[in-house]
Amino acid sequence: MGDAIPPTCSLLGYAFQQGRIPLAEESLARAIELNGLAVEFNRKAFLWGGASATDLARVERLATPAEIIPYHRRCREAWMS
3-state SS record for 9-60? HHHHHHHHHCCCCCCCHHHHHHHHHHHCCCHHHHHHHHHHHHHHHHCHHHHH
**pLDDT tens across 11-68, in order?**
999 999 999 999 999 999 999 999 998 999 999 999 999 999 999 999 999 888 777 7
Query: Where do the domains of the chain lie?
Result: 5-80
Note the residue count of the chain. Answer: 81
Please say if the pLDDT value at position 1 is more than 50.
no
Write the DSSP symbol of residue 68: P
Q: 78: helix, coil or strand?
A: helix
Q: Tell me how far apart the alpha carbons of residues 58 and 13 are, in angstroms, rounded to a whole number.
A: 16
